Amino acid sequence: MIEARRLHILRAVADHRTVTAAAAALYLTPSAVSQQLTALEQETGHRLVERGAKGVRLTPAGEILLSHTNAVLAQLERAEAELAAYGAGEAGTVTVAAFATGIAQVVAPAVARLAASAPGIRIRVQDAEGDASLPMVLDRQVDVAVAVEYRGAPPADDPRLTHVPLYAEPFDAVVPLTHRLADGPEVPLAELAKDPWIGPYPGNPCHDVVVLACENAGFQPRLEHSSDDFRAVVALASADVGVALVPRSALRGMDLTGVVVRPVDGVAPTRRVFAAVRRGAEGHPLIRPVLDALRAAAEDA
């Protein structure tokens, strides 16, 4: 009989592409992961992985088992949820990973709501960029991710995850006070093609939003300054070293001395924010109220 914990290991290896990375995510040693994979191959009677210079890839038999693994693990999550409901699990800890402005926009208000509506639920919050929180959910390091759609992200129909849409917000143009477009009501992105740009590092989902918006306007932004902290981005713009696109919620309460904030002319670049849990866990009596509170906070934002 196939052991479920070995299926967790198979999925981690498929996600991370190396035994070492999968072991780190699962808090195991690489040798332990290799031993469990060997045992799984013995249980199934098939070779499941192939090791090469660039890492590990699944064999066709491994891909077949992985497709069933996603369904099996989702069903186990549902079983845990139903058992917890049967036991009237009204108290416990839920860990939420979210990016900084997502924490301010929806996570913190959701925590305040839960303190009144479900005082037995304790929330632990971890600051993680939108592209980092989804692997943390899949690796069972956290229970809920508040993440951003980005190129390469698991799609909404990914069999490993359940997505809960929360909100979408536009990016505004941030230019120095002395900029030639500072006096206009809106900023046409195409007219910023020759400007130096300030923006997040590649890998940050907001980097993808900025680059894609500029590509749609007909140019590649010349990113001369990089920071994942939007306060730093705005400070650099106020120093007249470049222009930027910044999510509207990130600008709230920020010192905007030295810059002008304007909406983008036409279709504004937008980031779409959602919550994600392991598929099957959305009905857990501790996780369901957290998702409901996040949705309510997003509606009120």
Supply angle C-alpha 14, 58, 128, rounded to 5. Answer: 10
**pLDDT of residue 84 exceeding 90:** no
Confidence (pLDDT) at 76: 85
pLDDT single digits (tens) 165-201: 999 999 999 999 999 999 999 999 999 999 999 999 9
Confidence (pLDDT) at 88: 58
For residues 151 and 218, give the distance between their C-alpha atoms in angstroms, rounded to a whole number.
Answer: 19
CB atoms within 10 A of CB 251: 18
Confidence (pLDDT) at 224: 96
Confidence (pLDDT) at 126: 97
- What pTM did the predictor assign? 0.72
Taken in order 70, 73, 76, 78, the sign of the CA dihedral is: negative
pLDDT category at 86 given cuts 50, 70, 90 is low
Q: What is the mean pLDDT of residues 254-273?
A: 92
Confidence (pLDDT) at 226: 96
Q: Which residues contact 270 (CB under 8 A, 6 or more apart)?
A: 168, 169, 170, 171, 209
- What percentage of the chain has pLDDT greater than the value 70? 98
pLDDT single digits (tens) 100-129: 989 999 999 999 999 999 888 889 999 998
Taken in order 218, 220, 223, 224, the sign of the CA dihedral is: negative
Structure tokens at 146: 């508040």
